[in-house]
Structure 1
Amino acid sequence: MPARRRRWGIRIASTLSALVLTASGVGHSVVATVTDGVGRVDAFSGLRDRPDAGSGLNILLIGTDSRDGLTEEERARYHVGGTSCRCADAILLLHISADRERVSMVSLPRDSFATLPEHTLPDTEEHHDAHDDKLNSALSHGGPQLMVRAVEDLTEVRIDHYLEVSFVSFMRAVDELGGVEVCTTEPLRDAYAGLDLPAGTSTLDGPGALAYVRARHLDGASDFGRMQRQQRFLAAFVDKAVSGGVLLNPGKVAALAGSLLDSVRADEGFGSEQMLALAGLMRHFSTESVEFASVPVADRERQLPGLGSTVIWDEAAADRLFAAFREDRPLPRPESGEEAAAEPHAVPAGGEHGTTTADQIVC
Structure 2
Amino acid sequence: MSLAPKASEAAGGRDAGRGGGTGGSRGQNGGRRRRGRRVLRWSATGLSVVILGTAGAGYLYYQHLNGNIHKGQRSSGDSKARKTAPNAAGQTPMNILLIGSDSRNSAENVKLGGSKDNVGNPPLGDVQMLIHLSADRKSASMVSIPRDTRVDIPKCTDPKTGKVFPATNSIINESLARGGAGCTLATWENLTGVYIDHWMTIDFAGVVKMADAIGGVEVCVNQSVWDHPTPQVPGGSGLKLTAGSHKVQGKQALQWLRTRHAWGSDLMRARAQHMYLNSMIRTLKGQNVFTDTPRLMDLAEAATDSLTVSEEIGTVKKLYDLAMQLKSVPTNRITSVTMPNVPDPQNDDHVVPDTVNADKMWQMLRDDVAFDKNGDAKESGKKSGGSAPATKSPSVPADQLGVLVRNATGTSTEAAVSGRARTIATQLGAKGYTRAAADTSGTAESVEKTVVEYPSADLLGDAQAVAKSLGIPVGQVKQTTDVSGVTLVVGADWREGTAYPKQSAPKAGDLPDNSDAINGSDTKQCMDVYAPYRWQ
Q: How high is the TM-score relative to the length of structure 2?
A: 0.54
Shift in Å, 1:47: 4.5
What's the counterpart of residue 168 of structure 1?
205
Shift in Å, 1:362: 5.8
What's the counterpart of residue 102 of structure 1?
139
2:65 pairs with 28, 34, 38, which one? 34
What's the counterpart of residue 118 of structure 2?
83
**Structure having the larger proportion of residues in strand:** 1
What's the counterpart of residue 267 of structure 2?
224
Contact 1:232 1:362 in 2 (8 A): no
1:212 pairs with 237, 256, 265, which one? 256
Write the deviation string for residues 12-64 of structure 1: whole angstroms up to 9, x where unpaired: xxxxxxxxxxxxx99x9676653431101012267442334343100010010
1:272 pairs with 290, 309, 316, which one? 316
**Aligned partners of 1:268, 1:184: CA distance in 2, in Å?**
39
Change in 2 beyond 3 A, CA 1:186/1:32? farther
In the alignment, structure 1 residue 194 sits paired with structure 2 residue 238:
yes
In the alignment, structure 1 residue 261 sits paired with structure 2 residue 304:
yes
The AA in structure 2 aligned to 1:94 is I
Identity percentage of aligned residues = 27
> Structure 2: any 5+ residue segments left out of the alignment?
1-54, 86-91, 229-235, 374-510, 526-536
Change in 2 beyond 3 A, CA 1:239/1:248? farther
Greater Cα radius of gyration, structure 1 or 2: 2
The number of aligned residues is 315
In the alignment, structure 1 residue 324 sits paired with structure 2 residue 357:
no
Change in 2 beyond 3 A, CA 1:68/1:250? farther
The AA in structure 2 aligned to 1:359 is S
Contact 1:106 1:292 in 2 (8 A): yes
What's the counterpart of residue 130 of structure 2?
93
Change in 2 beyond 3 A, CA 1:76/1:255? closer
What's the counterpart of residue 64 of structure 1?
101
**Aligned partners of 1:45, 1:97: CA distance in 2, in Å?**
26
The AA in structure 2 aligned to 1:39 is H
Contact 2:77 2:156 in 1 (8 A): no
Task: Say which is worse superposed, 172-181 or 353-362, in terms of deviation.
Answer: 353-362
In the alignment, structure 1 residue 50 sits paired with structure 2 residue 81:
yes
**Aligned partners of 1:255, 1:141: CA distance in 2, in Å?**
34
The AA in structure 2 aligned to 1:141 is R
In the alignment, structure 1 residue 239 sits paired with structure 2 residue 282:
yes
SS at match of 1:50: coil
**Aligned partners of 1:296, 1:184: CA distance in 2, in Å?**
24
What's the counterpart of residue 355 of structure 1?
517
The AA in structure 2 aligned to 1:83 is N
Contact 1:177 1:241 in 2 (8 A): yes
> Structure 1: any 5+ residue segments left out of the alignment?
1-24, 334-349
Shift in Å, 1:119: 3.1
Shift in Å, 1:133: 0.7
Change in 2 beyond 3 A, CA 1:168/1:58? same
Change in 2 beyond 3 A, CA 1:168/1:212? same
**Aligned partners of 1:276, 1:125: CA distance in 2, in Å?**
32
Change in 2 beyond 3 A, CA 1:332/1:296? farther
Shift in Å, 1:245: 3.2
**Aligned partners of 1:180, 1:280: CA distance in 2, in Å?**
20
Task: Say which is worse superposed, 51-60 or 241-250, in terms of deviation.
Answer: 241-250
What's the counterpart of residue 11 of structure 1?
none
Change in 2 beyond 3 A, CA 1:31/1:287? farther
Ranked by relative contact order (alpha carbons within 8 Å, sequence separation 6 or more), the top structure is 1
The AA in structure 2 aligned to 1:186 is Q
Shift in Å, 1:126: 5.1
